[in-house]
Structure 1
């Protein structure tokens, strides 16, 4: 279920996992029964630190997993968390999570790059965060970044073609006034065998 921008709830069958509850997303504040909350990186559109404590309070058994760059902000607020880095693999319930990537995509050469974790669930669903991480094997579902200060449409298309999943679900769209323009571009230029499916905000869908 897409809750806007980079925030997605994944139900793997053995775990309920929330990605990136950020400031441009909504609907995650009332979620319960989560097994883990996975943060790709420290930017506010991926992690709303003001709303996080209430979310954790509603999900006391959920593990908060973050990249190394986000950890300092959480330590300052005394929020319990687990730091994971690219190359690590861990389990959430019965779901295997692989950590991919390492660095946020370049916004501008004058802006220092920060850490970014991509997360691959059971080898089937990939949330890359703000990076163009291509996994070693093709996932069934790619959560595809649509638009950002670090991203131009041709790069997103090239990334879609490089991963070439059976299904791509566009995310990270909140900076656009009319995201359908980008969605149509992805549909028209997707590699053969890839379906681009738009996930309406807050509506569960099967992959």
Structure 2
């Protein structure tokens, strides 16, 4: 599988049978000009994961792409009359020839005084896990974990603990745009990763083979 990190939570996955875009948000760049997509997956409704103003143009230039969202995001795109499909945790569906499993269900707690929203994690082809904003540990170990680096709901120790809980052969840090310089966090991941896990940094826009 080939992955391209477009900054923050946005990733393009080319599985060989499908081209899938995940989380085209406001802190990411480069997805606006993409063509040939088979699906656009959104983990949850926060603006750093979905720039709803740019979404119609993206879908217009990818007429074959299905927009797949969680239940909370469905309300947001429904207000704009944007065609979409809602998927729930526990569901499996196929994009091209790639099986996608929906995992998780709830966004990590930001603060007890804030309502907790829905969040879909997506496991692509049984090998690559994008958890969105959650600490979802799948039933089987993925080959690649797209690892959240920093967020209002996340401190570095929790990110390390999540990395150790999943213990994938390869971890690729994402969700870094809230940091002025994420290298310190990346170094912590490399130092504290579990035995057998490689941490590989994916510069924005550069294809990464997994």
- Shorter chain as denominator, the TM-score bin is over 0.9
Cα deviation code 1:97-139 (max 9, x no counterpart)? 0000010000000000000000001110000000000000000
SS at match of 1:193: coil
* Structure 1 runs, 4 residues or longer, greater than 3 Å off: none
Provide the residue aligned with 1:37 in structure 2: 40
The counterpart of 1:58, out of the listed 58, 61, 74, is 61
Provide the residue aligned with 2:175 in structure 1: 172
User: Please, what is the CA RMSD of the aligned residues?
Assistant: 0.4
Distance 2:107 2:49 in 1: 12
Name the TM-score, length of structure 1 as normaliser.
Answer: 1.00
Q: How does 1:63-74 map to 2 (within 5 A)?
A: 63-74=66-77
Distance 1:205 1:145 in 2: 17
Provide the residue aligned with 2:192 in structure 1: 189
Provide the residue aligned with 1:142 in structure 2: 145
Distance 1:73 1:177 in 2: 30
Q: Any gaps of 5 or more consecutive residues in structure 2?
A: none
Q: How does 1:94-133 map to 2 (within 5 A)?
A: 94-133=97-136
SS at match of 1:101: strand
Q: Any gaps of 5 or more consecutive residues in structure 1?
A: none
Matched positions, count: 207
